Amino acid sequence: VPARSQDKAPRQFRLAIHGGAGTIDRTQMTPEKEAAYRADLERALRTGHAILAKGGSSLDAVEATLRVLEDSPLFNAGKGAVFTHDGHNELDASIMDGATGSAGAVAGVRRVKNPISLARLVMEKSPHVLMVGAGAETFAREQGVKLVNPRYFWTELRWKQLQDAKRAEAEARAKGRTAFNAPANRETEGYKFGTVGAVALDRSGNLAAGTSTGGMTNKRFGRVGDAPIIGAGTYANNATCAVSATGHGEYFIRSVVGYDISALMAYRGLSVADAASEVVMKKLVALGGEGGVIAMDGAGNIAMPFNSTGMYRGWIDADGKVTVAIFKEP
Ligand code: ASP
């Protein structure tokens, strides 16, 4: 188990985030829409930065940053969560502490406003790592976590995307195809992903990672993706890296994406950039798994590979300089 760094000298800190990967089409992106995404990503980065700048922990920064994105209707997490096939919102989230290897996660919760905070409570206030559904919500109530009426998660855009996805599914079935999430048309292709994630390095040299999502539009009741699976959608280890993933979760679970990136660094000595690229651009591509990751090593080096057309992403340096990007080229 890697030890929590005791280093007292102020060090560099850094925070990186993603707001989901997928088919993000420039022709569908109006200047207003793009500005709104960029503004929320920057606001999230500045929230985490303020914590890290004061000497706060990477765990605190990751949680606070992701709460901002969960509360934004633009991202598929918290307020902007996508709908399941039967018209509900089922949220998944996880968080991991790179210093101690402890982790917490929740899946399939329907009434938790900020699932990332519940994941953190599972890590710190329960003997468990992953709690699901009604049990997770009972635990939330016991911990005084804010529960909301499920209607809180209803947004017109996500509802429309569900109807489009269902239509596409019916058409695909009529043609003898089985893909439950076949994209409907160019306008709605972007509906598939939109998860949020953060990785951070604090002044003490500790890494943390977190991911929060509504999953995939039109997913079946009870389906759980990679976001709450430690080692798949989220992983952190001070000795290697912190990772948060976004993409077609089934492939990310089967590829154990987060842990594989860490293992390539630990066992083969790869840099974070080479390890992340090997997994996202080679292994996932070979399997047909669309998406990307953000990964950060213990020195604050960041890698953000994605094999989709776009990934909402950004980072903030210790001096407060923000970079936000959406498409292949920033
Ligand atoms: N990875 C998420 C899932 O499969 C979806 C996403 O990243 O948008 O649930």
Neighbours of 228 (CB within 10 A): 34
Closest to 213 (Cα-Cα) out of 249, 180, 187, 241: 249
Ligand 1 neighbour 48 (Cβ under 6 A): no
90-141 tens-digit pLDDT: 999 999 999 999 999 999 999 999 999 999 999 999 999 999 999 999 999 9
Pairing state between β 310-317 and 322-327: antiparallel
Distance 210 CA to ligand 1 centre (A): 13
Closest ligand 1 atom number to CA of residue 223? 9
Task: Report helix angle 115-125 to 58-71, nearest 10.
Answer: 150
Burial of 33 (0-12, 13-18, 19+ CB in 10 A): exposed
Closest ligand 1 atom number to CA of residue 76? 8
Name the pLDDT band for 1 (thresholds 50, 70, 90): very low
In whole angstroms, give the CA distance from residue 244 to residue 230. 10
Name the pLDDT band for 329 (thresholds 50, 70, 90): confident
221-260 tens-digit pLDDT: 999 999 999 999 999 999 999 999 999 999 999 999 999 9
Q: How far, rounded to the nearest angstrom, does the alpha carbon of residue 231 sit from its chain's CA centroid?
A: 13
In whole angstroms, give the CA distance from residue 314 to residue 312. 7
Ligand 1 neighbour 213 (Cβ under 6 A): yes
In whole angstroms, give the CA distance from residue 247 to residue 307. 9
Ligand 1 neighbour 115 (Cβ under 6 A): no
Query: For position 183, what pLDDT does the model report?
Result: 44
Considering 195, 217, 234, 240, which one is annotated as catalytic?
195
Ligand 1 neighbour 311 (Cβ under 6 A): no
Mutate to test the pocket of ligand 1, among 193, 280, 294, 307 (most ligand atoms within 8 A of CB): 193
Name the pLDDT band for 28 (thresholds 50, 70, 90): confident
Query: For position 330, what pLDDT does the model report?
Result: 57
Ligand 1 neighbour 195 (Cβ under 6 A): yes
Name the pLDDT band for 69 (thresholds 50, 70, 90): very high
173-230 tens-digit pLDDT: 898 765 544 443 333 444 566 899 999 999 999 999 999 999 999 999 999 999 999 9
Query: For position 5, what pLDDT does the model report?
Result: 55
291-327 tens-digit pLDDT: 999 999 999 999 999 999 999 999 999 999 999 999 9
Annotated catalytic, 84?
no
Percentage of residues of the chain with pLDDT beyond 70: 91
Percentage of residues of the chain with pLDDT beyond 90: 84
CA angle 38, 200, 315 (to 5 degrees): 25
Pairing state between β 91-97 and 241-247: unpaired
